[in-house]
């Protein structure tokens, strides 16, 4: 892992040197260009409208073509395919006075047309090279399809699974989130943004969006500066340090000021403290929404957003309609317009658009890159590695294809939901369902199928989801009839495998849930099947942690597959029948009850930590404090045993390193991959510290009966935190070190940091 990061560092240094070398040339070019631009044209570069399209080409929003020809559009989003992009780019470079090319952006979240598992699922692989490969594959496809800018990665730390957008992120941990942020930026951008297969990453949502109160989308955020800098901001900074070319402001307020108009956030922190030189775009209509926040009328919020550091106005066109008058009335210094315009033009320059506005976009390249055999196979690998085995009582899994198996549930044959939320340009009709994959692999079988239940029976929820493409249809049979058929199949089988979960649109944006259990009709099905006395395996498809107390207590096995993408069906079949030994680990805690939320592994101890038998300690009266499944948790078909931790020394000084060694043994019957996790705890500090913090991990493949010794290196940098004076430093004292299979099941050792 150290070698990997050294290579990454050298690559970043090379990119930095190259960037520094081209800076004078870029400055000269843009200064000359801006000297020829009118105020209207400068403001036009800050305008980012949405332009949709159909199979015949772009559908221009009202007045967009006229604005394009006048140079009043800096970029568009939601337009792709070579023909559509070329049509709009032709307008920009052939019809406008200064021939400034357009940016083309799109929400490429977990693949462009080859759809990979949702980001929360990808994170569960704990496989950074794999995650980077999926971003690289997405960049290949997106750039071939005419795009040069992707609104990804989403690096928001989230501790509340009621928030639907946890599906788009990497989970609850700061350190792991930062590593994934770096990997995705490198995958999208590569080492040279001018290359035709590179796209500019847009890090979102800056900042703290994942901490929305009550887990409700677009809601307010309120937190201390300490929590911001320790827990929430590091993944954004990691993405910036990895060279991300752009940032998207978030919808929420921070310290009472919405992010889009927050000068402290966008200028003081992002640019002055972190040294970010790129482009800041707002989220969809975020400037317009500043009025709902109570910050003023259109002119006032436009002025506030621009002066705070927002460069491009997504959709609302307040910059376009209000900035000129503010400047001419001397209510806004033109410097702010020039500054934002320069950043937009610099982004285009760095992408090489002034040299080649089309960047090699062609139907031939699109046909070669989009859903190539290599990418489709990568989707299958990623899907398998994202699957997490949550329970496997008496080793009921893997299944044997000679068994009589009843496959039951509305998701057994489903394609629509496999690609999950925010699947952008993905076509669910090209996804491989589980049933299709299963019957192709085992044409001679003893399998049966029953639907068992509708995915959702709640008519109000269906009414909310279907207008947005959920495609939920009710069976002509009654719920009772569906359950009776499923029970009949189960009674004739050796085991029932039940596919349940969410609709893809029950997670993602605007998909918060106050109740994160399985829908009532699905629970009724499970209870009826359990009553047969036959073994029950639950296969989940969902975009967030769920509350599964009854399921965990009563079912024989539970497999979390998330929404695993185009090849989900193949990967699930591979896992269930033992062709792939599951290795995924959770990156977000599964609560026992919604009442425990927010719940996360790296909490702080209190002055009255829980003590069995003591009433006046921190606890619930009705449920344990502990989660159902902790961060880092995931089972295997084999078993891994950890030795005691061996330290090469009992203490270190600030410039020294400590080596922690542990031996892992595969004591089971299957070959498998284990993710060994390293956690630290500062025992005594000037401010309260979390009970554990992830600081490293290693993936280890072991054949059955094999053992390997692995080592982690720790230095003073790993021990740093923000002290009482908000200085990022380490403090002498005792530390605990933990290594284990998840955040709860660990071996422990102690060492000391000397002055």
Residues designated catalytic: 283
Run of H or E including 649? none
Phi then psi for residue 406, to 5 deg, are -100, 115
What is the chain's Cα-based Rg? 27
d(CA 624, CA 644): 28
Burial-class residue 598 by CB neighbours within 10 Å (0-12, 13-18, 19+). middle
d(CA 599, CA 753): 30
DSSP secondary structure of 529-594: HHTTTS-EEEEEE-SS----HHHHHH-SEEEE--S--TTHHHHHHHHHTTSS------SSPBPSSG
Treating both helix axes as pointing N-terminal to C-terminal, what angle do 128-144 and 373-386 enclose, rounded to 10 degrees? 140
d(CA 44, CA 40): 6
DSSP state of 101: P
Non-local (6+) Cβ contacts of 151 within 8 A are 77, 105, 106, 107, 108, 109, 202, 204, 248
Q: How far is CA 119 from CA 218, 280, 317, 422, 728, in A?
A: 20, 23, 31, 10, 30
Non-local (6+) Cβ contacts of 241 within 8 A are 12, 182, 274
Non-local (6+) Cβ contacts of 569 within 8 A are 418, 431, 432, 433, 434, 435, 436, 437, 438
DSSP state of 430: G
Closest of 149, 164, 29 to residue 514, by C-alpha: 164
Closest of 578, 540, 545, 546 to residue 561, by C-alpha: 540
d(CA 222, CA 212): 8
Closest of 379, 356, 344, 308 to residue 141, by C-alpha: 379
Structure tokens at 170: 């990497």
Strands 651-652 and 646-647: unpaired
**How many other CB atoms sit within 10 Å of the CB of residue 651?**
15
Closest of 580, 666, 125, 117 to residue 388, by C-alpha: 125
Q: How far is CA 108 from CA 26, 115, 246, 515, in A?
A: 28, 9, 14, 29
């Amino acid at each position: 892992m150290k070698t990997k990061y050294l290579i990454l560092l050298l690559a970043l240094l090379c990119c930095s040197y190259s960037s520094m070398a081209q800076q004078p040339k870029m400055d000269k070019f843009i200064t000359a260009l801006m000297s020829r631009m009118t105020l209207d044209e400068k403001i036009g570069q800050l305008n980012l409208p949405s332009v949709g399209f159909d199979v015949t080409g772009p559908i221009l929003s009202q007045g967009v073509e006229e604005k394009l020809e006048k140079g009043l559009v800096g970029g568009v989003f939601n337009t792709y395919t070579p023909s559509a992009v070329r049509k709009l780019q032709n307008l920009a470079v052939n019809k406008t006075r200064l021939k400034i090319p357009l940016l083309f952006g799109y929400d490429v979240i977990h693949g462009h047309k080859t759809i990979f598992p949702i980001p929360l699922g990808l994170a569960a692989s704990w496989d950074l090279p794999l995650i980077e490969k999926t971003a690289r594959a997405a960049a290949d496809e997106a750039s071939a399809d005419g795009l040069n800018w992707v609104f990804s990665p989403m690096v928001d730390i989230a501790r509340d699974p009621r928030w639907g957008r946890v599906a788009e992120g990497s989970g609850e941990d700061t350190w792991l989130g930062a590593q994934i942020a770096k990997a995705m930026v490198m995958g999208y951008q590569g080492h040279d943004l001018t290359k035709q297969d590179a796209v500019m990453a847009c890090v979102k949502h800056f900042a703290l969006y994942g901490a929305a109160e009550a887990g409700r989308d677009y809601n307010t955020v309120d937190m201390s500066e300490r929590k911001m800098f320790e827990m929430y901001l590091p993944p954004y900074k990691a993405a910036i340090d990895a060279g991300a070319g752009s940032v998207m402001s978030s919808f929420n307020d921070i310290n009472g000021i919405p992010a889009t108009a927050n000068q402290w956030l966008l200028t003081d922190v992002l640019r002055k403290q972190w040294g970010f030189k790129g482009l800041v775009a707002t989220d969809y209509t975020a400037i317009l929404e500043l009025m709902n926040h109570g910050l003023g009328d259109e002119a006032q919020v436009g002025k506030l957003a621009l002066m705070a550091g927002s460069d491009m106005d997504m959709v609302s066109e307040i910059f376009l309609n209000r900035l000129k008058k503010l400047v001419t009335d001397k209510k806004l210094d033109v410097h702010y317009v020039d500054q934002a315009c320069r950043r937009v033009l610099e982004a285009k320059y760095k992408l090489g658009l002034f040299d080649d506005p089309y960047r090699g976009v062609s139907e031939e390249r699109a046909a070669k890159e989009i859903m190539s055999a290599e990418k489709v196979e990568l989707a299958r690998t990623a899907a398998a590695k994202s699957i997490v085995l949550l329970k496997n009582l008496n080793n009921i899994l893997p299944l044997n294809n000679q068994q009589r198996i009843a496959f039951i549930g509305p998701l057994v044959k489903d394609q629509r939901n496999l690609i999950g939320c925010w699947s952008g340009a993905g076509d669910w009709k090209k996804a491989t369902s589980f049933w299709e994959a299963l019957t192709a692999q085992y044409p001679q079988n003893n399998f049966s199928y029953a639907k068992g239940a509708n995915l959702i029976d709640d008519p109000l929820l269906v009414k909310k989801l279907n207008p947005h493409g959920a495609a939920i249809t009710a069976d002509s049979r009654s719920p009772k009839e569906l359950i009776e058929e499923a029970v009949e199949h189960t009674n004739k089988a050796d085991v029932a495998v039940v596919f349940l979960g969410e609709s893809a649109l029950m997670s993602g944006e605007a998909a918060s849930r106050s109740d994160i259990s399985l829908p009532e009709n699905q629970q009724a099905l499970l209870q009826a099947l359990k009553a047969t006395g036959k073994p029950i395996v639950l296969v989940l498809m969902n975009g967030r942690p769920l509350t599964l107390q009854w399921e965990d207590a009563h079912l024989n096995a539970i497999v979390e597959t998330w929404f695993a993408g185009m090849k989900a069906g193949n990967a699930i079949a591979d896992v269930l029948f033992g062709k792939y030994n599951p290795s995924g680990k959770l990156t977000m805690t599964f609560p026992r009850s919604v009442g425990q939320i927010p719940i996360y592994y790296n909490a702080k101890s209190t002055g009255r930590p829980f003590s069995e038998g003591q009433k006046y300690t921190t606890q619930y009266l009705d449920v344990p404090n502990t989660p159902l499944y902790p961060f880092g948790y995931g089972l295997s078909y084999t078993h891994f045993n950890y030795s005691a931790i061996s330290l090469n020394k009992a203490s270190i000084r600030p410039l020294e390193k400590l080596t922690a060694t542990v031996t892992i043994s595969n004591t089971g019957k299957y070959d498998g991959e284990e993710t060994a996790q390293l956690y630290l705890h500062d025992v005594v500090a000037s401010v309260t510290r979390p009970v554990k913090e992830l600081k490293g991990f290693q993936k280890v493949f072991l054949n059955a009966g094999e053992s390997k010794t692995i080592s982690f290196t720790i230095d003073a940098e790993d021990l740093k935190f923000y002290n009482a004076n908000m200085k990022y430093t380490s403090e002498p004292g005792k530390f605990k070190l933990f290594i284990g299979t998840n955040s709860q099941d660990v071996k422990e050792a102690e060492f000391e940091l000397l002055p």
